[in-house]
């Protein structure tokens, strides 16, 4: 179809009949923000930039935050010399001069500003392939407009030379010509105006707040936590653990609860005096001077106070503990409770017997085997993790940039690079160039730089200082006074005192509050997702004049790069497909205005790390098993891993054939040892039935386990009610064969069909006679139902398969109701019962033969070019079977390194005149070329991942 007809059809769909088939790329579309649906205006803007030949922006307001969301994309366009024009406005003096300054660094962008009148436009114009895409509506170039605000924008596509585009271009050119060049002189003058306006606004706000009595009250999440703590106490619980991300107001939350509890004597324990002082200020701001409060740290021991704020180093000493009776305090709070395994904390907890003990931590997960959860009787008061806190606007947003570390002397930086190369002039210049390029929210950097070793930290600080920066390095040997002085200087308003950066290794991982930090640079490999989040958290504390945190992560050739998306997206399933999905999603899965950006090479490194990593080593599986066991206080089952958002329990089955096998291996004292036949059956159910790819068998199995029989009518009704689709008779027959393992060429008496009922077979009855076998089989079955349900949505489900989910050839044979597993003979495609699944590896391996180097590729997001096997002709029965298929399904994986599973991209139809005899490019062998139309376009993130 030519472009003119495609545009005409898209207009028919958009303006007359939404059922009319047309190219989705050309259809008019509303562009808005909706985090729950994974939609951001930003996603569309970035995609248009990535595919355009030229772009024009006409927006009233531009902020550094808005620019930060697209700056990586602009850098790539500059490399390609894609030209752009940006027109901003000085209207209301809202546009930030720092944002204009940052745009001027791009040689491919012409920047002007409208200084007269009420310029208030919001339009984005992109030229590509003979058309213009115009986005016009309410979104300025600000991070909130592009990510979170309620915005309405209309995206329309029109041909070059169309009336609409002529009008838009003419209007833009007129306004652009009338606007002023953004020169250095202009920026200097405007910066003074903007700063004066900002200072005036701040002064007015301060005066207003002075007249207004601000009531301090719990936010939404604090309110929920307080209700949970009160409920635990109503159940006679005397201990509780609060898990709360850095910067989410743990201290205020504890103060609210103490205010409610009204203890006569109260103790707040921290690990640093400065934190104790800040905590006391918080309590005083809430409770006033009605209650006496004092410090107990070092030489200051205000023991007569009713509420005491103490450092653990002081109060944990035996002679200090002896000064207090065990029941002296009614209520005790222990901050940073993940340290509670240390002897000092243990002495405190063993000595005191308060009426209530509250532990608070951002990271209760320990790597040293200490069971923090047990210390609090497994009573979880509440969990406020990073992503929830971001979605509730409790933390400063961040813009993360994964950038490629450079090569030094043609050697790529990695874990083993020697000291001289890590501190080489060339690398220091690269770090500074990158830091200046990404900048910070207001141009006044207050940064932390995390290094891998103290000697590197010290040397890099010297190199920065030699280039005019003010920095220092702190190590574990630095005195507390040195640390506090460094923090004060980083926060200082005095230019003579102010530090630009503090270099460190890990002493700032926790327990440090530096609200002014607006840039974090990571110059070390990510060895732990927990430590990554701790270090990220140093810059997430909100501050009134702080718009966002810039995070620059130099990504080298590190084997653990896959931990970066785990940390950023907060998913600890260690499921490779989930990690790939998150990486392809860009910023759409991150709540609020935060964004995640990788340059192309660093993204490749992370995908390579995901492919190469073993996500199921015994050590890692045992670690996560013990961690969850500690958290819930018992042996965890597969459903517990799902409920707690922990490691994907399917990994235990992949490694040990069944979850029962793994538990038996770890729990050496277990006496629940099953016979060989039962063990084999548990393995078969786990590997062949309960993998979450089809739900029907699991529904039947669940009811047989619980009720011993299950009527076909009830089964059909349950599936219809739960998933809104009908189960065919062929699927019922297939389920019976699968459950009896006939599909894999075995034969067990698991289930029978008697008078319209599924009933227990002999083998399943014997298995269920063992209580432990029944428990593990039911858990595995419920896991499968939960996993299917999690991935399922009615709009993405088509005849047994979930679009964008991954399936093996074996899964597909089973779901298509083939009587036997023929996956070993499917290869690229096979027609059976008039159905043809096609399996494509998009990027072919270098070592495959010329006769299998098929030219399979996307023409666009809804059109796919596919080739048959070599030495095939149009009239051959195999090709005719494909052409005459009732159903053709397309499955694609990026490369062999992904494993054996393929993304199901939906069913396809053969485009009219889309089959032709051809020859293979290299070998010249005959091949048949098909053009397929997908039933729906491939989503942007997955499409970009597959083709790049």
Residue 911: phi, psi to the nearest 5?
-65, 145
Residues 6 or more apart whose Cβ sits within 8 Å of residue 535? 448, 450, 508, 509, 520, 522
Q: What is the pLDDT of residue 595?
A: 97
pLDDT band at 220 (very low <50, low <70, confident <90, very high): confident
- Tens digits of residue pLDDT in 665-713: 999 776 678 999 999 999 999 999 999 999 999 999 999 999 999 999 9
Q: What is the pLDDT of residue 511?
A: 62
Q: What is the pLDDT of residue 203?
A: 86
Q: Considering the chain, what percentage of its residues have pLDDT values greater than 70?
A: 96
Q: Parallel, antiparallel, or unpaired: how do β-strands 356-361 and 239-244 relate?
A: parallel
CA distance 135 to 164: 12
Q: What is the pLDDT of residue 705?
A: 97
CA distance 546 to 549: 8
Q: What is the largest CA-CA distance in the chain?
A: 98
Residue reference for tokens 């201990």: 239
Residues 6 or more apart whose Cβ sits within 8 Å of residue 50? 73, 76, 944
Select the more confidently predicted residue: 882 or 586.
Answer: 882
Cα within 13 Å of Cα(555), Cβ side: 27
Which pTM value belongs to this model?
A: 0.90
pLDDT band at 408 (very low <50, low <70, confident <90, very high): low
CA of 292: how far to CAs of 265, 311, 463, 548, in Å?
10, 18, 50, 38
Structural contact between residues 372 and 340, judged by C-beta atoms closer than 8 angstroms = yes
Structural contact between residues 505 and 454, judged by C-beta atoms closer than 8 angstroms = yes
Q: Is the pLDDT of residue 248 over 90?
A: no
Q: What is the pLDDT of residue 656?
A: 97
Q: Considering only CA atoms, which of 386, 388, 364, 392 is closest in space to residue 376?
A: 364
Q: Considering only CA atoms, which of 137, 130, 179 is closest in space to residue 159?
A: 130
Q: Considering the chain, what percentage of its residues have pLDDT values greater than 90?
A: 74
Average pLDDT, stretch 243-255? Answer: 88
- Tens digits of residue pLDDT in 598-633: 999 999 999 999 999 998 899 999 989 998 998 888
Structural contact between residues 512 and 302, judged by C-beta atoms closer than 8 angstroms = no
Helix (H, G, I), strand (E, B), or coil: what is residue 501?
Answer: strand
Select the more confidently predicted residue: 858 or 38.
Answer: 858
Q: Is the pLDDT of residue 189 over 60?
A: yes
- Tens digits of residue pLDDT in 862-872: 899 999 999 99
Strand partners, 55: 84, 126
Q: What is the pLDDT of residue 446?
A: 96
Structural contact between residues 286 and 252, judged by C-beta atoms closer than 8 angstroms = yes
- Tens digits of residue pLDDT in 436-458: 999 999 999 999 999 989 999 99
Q: What is the pLDDT of residue 90?
A: 96
Q: What is the pLDDT of residue 846?
A: 63
Residues 6 or more apart whose Cβ sits within 8 Å of residue 893? 806, 840, 841, 842, 899, 901, 902, 903
Q: Considering only CA atoms, which of 57, 62, 6 is closest in space to residue 168?
A: 57
Q: Is the pLDDT of residue 747 over 90?
A: yes
Q: At what angle do helices 696-707 and 771-791 cross, to 10 degrees?
A: 150
Q: What is the pLDDT of residue 415?
A: 55
pLDDT band at 853 (very low <50, low <70, confident <90, very high): low
Structural contact between residues 247 and 387, judged by C-beta atoms closer than 8 angstroms = no
pLDDT band at 22 (very low <50, low <70, confident <90, very high): confident
Average pLDDT, stretch 466-473? Answer: 96
- Tens digits of residue pLDDT in 46-72: 999 999 999 999 999 999 999 999 999
Mean pLDDT for all residues in the chain: 92
Q: Is the pLDDT of residue 341 over 80?
A: no
Q: What is the pLDDT of residue 418?
A: 67
- Spell out where 457-538 has E strands: 471-473, 501-504, 519-523
Q: What is the pLDDT of residue 676?
A: 95
CA distance 706 to 866: 47
Select the more confidently predicted residue: 437 or 424.
Answer: 437
**Alpha-carbon dihedral 229, 231, 233, 236, rounded to 10 degrees:** -140
Q: What is the pLDDT of residue 43?
A: 93
Residues 6 or more apart whose Cβ sits within 8 Å of residue 312? 269, 270, 271, 339, 344, 345, 348
Q: Is the pLDDT of residue 715 over 60?
A: yes
Q: Is the pLDDT of residue 850 over 60?
A: no
Select the more confidently predicted residue: 423 or 524.
Answer: 524
Residue reference for tokens 């096609």: 838
Ranking 460-474, 557-571, 726-740 by mean pLDDT, the lowest is: 557-571
């Amino acid at each position: 179809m030519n472009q003119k007809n495609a545009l005409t059809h898209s207009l028919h769909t958009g303006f007359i009949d939404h059922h009319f088939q047309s190219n989705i790329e050309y259809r008019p579309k509303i562009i808005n923000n909706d985090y729950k649906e994974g939609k951001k205006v930003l996603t569309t803007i970035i995609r248009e930039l990535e595919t355009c030949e030229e772009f024009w922006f006409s927006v009233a307001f531009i902020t550094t935050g808005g620019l930060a969301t697209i700056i990586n994309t602009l850098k790539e366009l500059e490399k390609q010399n894609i030209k752009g024009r940006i027109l901003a406005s000085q209207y209301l003096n809202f546009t930030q001069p720092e944002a204009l300054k940052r745009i001027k660094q791009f040689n491919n962008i012409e920047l002007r500003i409208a200084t007269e009148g009420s310029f208030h436009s919001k339009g984005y114009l992109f030229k590509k392939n003979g058309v213009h895409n115009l986005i016009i509506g309410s979104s300025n170039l600000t991070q909130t407009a592009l990510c979170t605000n309620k915005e309405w924008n209309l995206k329309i596509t029109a041909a070059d030379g169309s009336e609409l585009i002529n009008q838009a271009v003419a209007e833009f050119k007129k306004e652009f010509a009338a606007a002023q060049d953004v020169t250095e002189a202009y920026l200097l003058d405007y910066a003074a105006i903007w700063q004066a306006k900002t200072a005036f606004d701040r002064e007015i706000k301060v005066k207003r707040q002075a007249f207004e009595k601000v009531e301090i009250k719990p936010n939404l999440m604090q309110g929920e936590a307080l209700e949970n703590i009160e409920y635990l106490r109503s159940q006679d619980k005397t201990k509780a653990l609060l898990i709360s991300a850095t910067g989410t107001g743990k201290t205020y939350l504890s103060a609210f609860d103490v205010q409610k509890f009204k203890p006569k004597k109260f103790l707040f324990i921290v690990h640093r005096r400065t934190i104790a002082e800040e905590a006391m200020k918080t309590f005083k701001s809430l409770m006033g001077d009605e209650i006496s409060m004092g410090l107990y740290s070092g030489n200051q021991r205000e023991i007569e106070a009713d509420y005491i704020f103490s450092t653990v180093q002081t109060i944990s000493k035996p002679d200090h503990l002896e000064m207090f009776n065990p029941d002296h305090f009614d209520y005790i709070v222990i901050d940073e409770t993940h340290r509670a395994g240390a002897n000092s904390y243990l002495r405190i907890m063993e000595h005191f017997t308060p009426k209530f003990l509250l532990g608070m931590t951002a990271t209760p997960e320990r790597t040293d085997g200490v069971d923090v959860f047990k210390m609090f009787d497994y009573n979880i008061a509440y969990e406020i993790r990073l992503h929830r806190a971001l979605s509730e606007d409790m933390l400063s947003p961040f813009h993360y940039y994964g950038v490629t570390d450079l090569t030094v002397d043609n050697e790529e930086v990695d874990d083993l690079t020697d000291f001289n190369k890590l501190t080489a002039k060339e690398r220091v210049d690269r770090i500074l160039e990158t830091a200046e390029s990404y900048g910070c929210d207001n141009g006044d950097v207050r940064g932390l730089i995390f290094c891998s070793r103290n000697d590197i930290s010290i040397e890099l600080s010297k190199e920065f200082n030699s280039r005019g920066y003010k920095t220092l390095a702190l190590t574990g040997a630095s005195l507390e006074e040195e640390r506090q002085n460094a923090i004060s200087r980083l926060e200082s308003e005095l230019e003579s005192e102010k530090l630009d950066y503090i270099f460190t290794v890990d002493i700032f991982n926790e327990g440090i509050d530096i609200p002014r930090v607006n840039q974090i640079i990571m110059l070390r490999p990510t060895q732990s997702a927990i430590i990554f989040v701790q270090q990220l958290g140093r810059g997430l504390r909100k501050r009134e004049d702080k718009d966002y945190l810039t995070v620059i992560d130099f990504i080298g050739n590190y084997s653990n790069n896959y931990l970066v998306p785990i940390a950023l997206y907060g998913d600890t399933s260690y499921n490779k497909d989930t990690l790939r999905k998150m990486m392809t999603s860009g910023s759409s899965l991150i709540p609020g205005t935060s964004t995640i950006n990788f340059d192309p090479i660093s993204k490749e490194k992370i995908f390579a790390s995901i492919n190469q990593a073993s996500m199921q080593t015994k050590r890692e599986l045992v670690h996560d098993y013990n961690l969850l066991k500690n958290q819930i206080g018992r042996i965890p089952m597969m459903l517990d891993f799902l409920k707690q958002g922990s490691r994907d329990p399917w990994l235990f089955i992949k490694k040990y054939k069944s979850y029962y096998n793994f538990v038996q291996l770890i729990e050496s004292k277990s006496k629940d040892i099953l016979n060989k036949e039962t063990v084999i059956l548990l393995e078969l159910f786990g590997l062949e039935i309960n993998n979450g790819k089809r739900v029907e068998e699991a529904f039947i199995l669940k009811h047989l386990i619980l009720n011993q029989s299950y009527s076909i009518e009830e089964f059909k009704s349950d599936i219809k009610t739960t998933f809104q689709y009908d189960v065919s008779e062929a699927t019922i027959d297939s389920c019976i064969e699968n459950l009896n393992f006939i599909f894999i060429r075995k034969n067990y008496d698991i289930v029978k069909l008697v008078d319209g009922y599924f009933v227990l077979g002999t083998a399943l009855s014997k298995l269920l006679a063992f209580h432990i076998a029944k428990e593990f089989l039911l858990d595995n079955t419920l896991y499968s139902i939960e996993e299917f349900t999690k991935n399922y949505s009615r709009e993405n489900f088509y005849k047994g398969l979930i679009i964008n989910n991954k399936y093996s050839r074996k899964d597909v044979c089973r779901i298509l109701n083939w009587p036997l597993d023929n996956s070993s003979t499917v290869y690229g495609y096979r027609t059976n019962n008039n159905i043809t699944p096609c399996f494509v590896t998009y990027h072919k391996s270098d070592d495959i033969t010329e006769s299998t180097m098929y030219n399979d590729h996307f023409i666009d997001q809804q059109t796919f070019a596919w080739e048959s096997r070599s030495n095939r002709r149009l009239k051959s029965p195999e090709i005719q079977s494909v052409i005459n298929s009732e159903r053709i399904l397309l499955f694609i994986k990026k490369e062999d390194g992904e494993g054996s599973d393929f993304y199901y991209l939906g069913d396809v139809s053969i485009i009219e005149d889309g089959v032709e005899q051809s020859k293979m490019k290299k070998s010249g062998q005959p091949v048949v070329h098909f053009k397929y139309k997908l039933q729906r376009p491939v989503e942007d993130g997955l499409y970009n991942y597959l083709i790049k």
